[in-house]
């Protein structure tokens, strides 16, 4: 029997990552060895999504996979981002990992960008949910029992009232026709706190909603786990 190939997963903490990881964990040819996430220095939050590191770490703990954080400065320029990601990829290569997985769905330029950067260090990319219908993907997300909240909203695409909302059937039904159901064009970002990939839910509550750098962020606060 062929041994499962070790791979690294580029984890954002959001719904697309969760769906892609869910697919990978059911495929016997791969063995996910860890989660790789970019964190913004100074803010201690998942880059772009704006989620606190504490919640990210609780996600990794509940999933049961090691977390590798790549720290980047605020307003990070591409050369710095690429250099730090390349260092992380080289470290993975030294651990005999030759492929990295992503939750991208249909952005061809982003797919090409990732493939080009991985090729520099002799690695390849995997896209488990590539070209999936995003409306069907959103419906499956709810059907599978995943639970998430919108943590970052682009107010040019969505009303700020979507910030902090639960990603349930009503959320997806209320999205304007011009907004992709999975927010693949950057209309919104999310934090997944429960679902089939987790051993236990990540307890969190909605905090302050703020506008920063032309985006609306909902601050999620970790709640203490109640001992049973």
Quick: pLDDT tens for 1-43.
678 999 999 999 999 999 999 999 999 999 999 999 999 998 8
Q: Is the pLDDT of residue 228 over 60?
A: no
Q: What is the per-residue pLDDT for 143?
A: 97
Percent of the chain with pLDDT over 90: 91
Q: What is the per-residue pLDDT for 2?
A: 75
Question: 35-49, 74-88, 214-228: which has the minimum mean pLDDT?
Answer: 214-228
Please count the CA atoms within 13 angstroms of the CA of 83 that sit on its side-chain side.
7
Residue 108 binned pLDDT confidence (cut-offs 50, 70, 90): very high
Cα 21 to Cα 163, 208, 215, distances in angstroms: 24, 29, 27
Tell me which DSSP letter residue 201 carries.
Answer: -
- Domains, the chain, in order of start with CATH, read 5-126 (3.40.50.620), 146-222 (3.90.1490.10)
Q: What is the per-residue pLDDT for 48?
A: 81
Tell me the pLDDT of the chain averaged across its residues. 94
Question: pLDDT tens across 179-193, in order?
Answer: 999 999 999 999 999
Strand 215-222 and strand 30-40: the pairing is unpaired
Q: How would DSSP label each residue in 123-178?
A: -EEE-TTTT--HHHHHHHHHHTT-EEEEEEE-TTTS-GGGTT-B-SHHHHHHS-TT
Helix residue spans in the chain (DSSP H): 15-25, 53-63, 78-94, 108-119, 134-143, 169-174
Q: pTM score, two decimals?
A: 0.94
Q: Is the pLDDT of residue 225 over 60?
A: no
Question: pLDDT tens across 36-79, in order?
Answer: 999 999 888 998 888 999 999 999 999 999 999 999 998 889 99
- Which residue has better confidence, 212 or 192? 192
Phi, psi at 128, each rounded to 5° = -65, -25
| Mean pLDDT, range 119-136, rounded to an integer | 97
């Amino acid at each position: 029997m062929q041994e499962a190939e070790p791979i690294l997963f580029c984890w954002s903490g959001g719904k697309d990552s969760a769906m892609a990881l869910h697919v990978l964990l059911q495929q016997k040819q791969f063995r996910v060895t860890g989660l790789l996430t970019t964190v913004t220095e100074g803010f201690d939050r998942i880059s772009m999504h704006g989620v606190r590191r504490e919640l990210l770490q609780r996600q990794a703990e509940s999933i049961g996979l090691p977390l590798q954080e790549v720290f980047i400065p605020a307003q990070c320029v591409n050369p710095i981002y690429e250099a730090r990601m390349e260092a992380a990829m080289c470290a993975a290569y030294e651990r005999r990992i030759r492929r990295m997985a992503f939750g991208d769905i249909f952005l061809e330029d982003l797919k090409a960008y990732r493939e080009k950067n991985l090729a520099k260090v002799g690695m390849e990319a995997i896209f488990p949910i590539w070209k999936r219908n995003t409306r069907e993907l959103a419906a499956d997300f709810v059907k599978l029992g995943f639970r998430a909240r919108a943590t970052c909203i682009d107010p040019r695409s969505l009303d700020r009232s979507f910030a902090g909302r639960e990603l349930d059937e009503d959320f997806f039904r209320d999205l304007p026709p011009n907004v992709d159901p999975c927010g693949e064009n950057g209309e919104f970002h999310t934090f997944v706190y429960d679902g089939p990939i987790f051993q236990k839910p990540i307890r969190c509550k909605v905090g302050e909603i703020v506008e920063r750098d032309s985006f609306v962020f909902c601050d999620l606060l970790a709640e203490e786990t109640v001992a049973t």
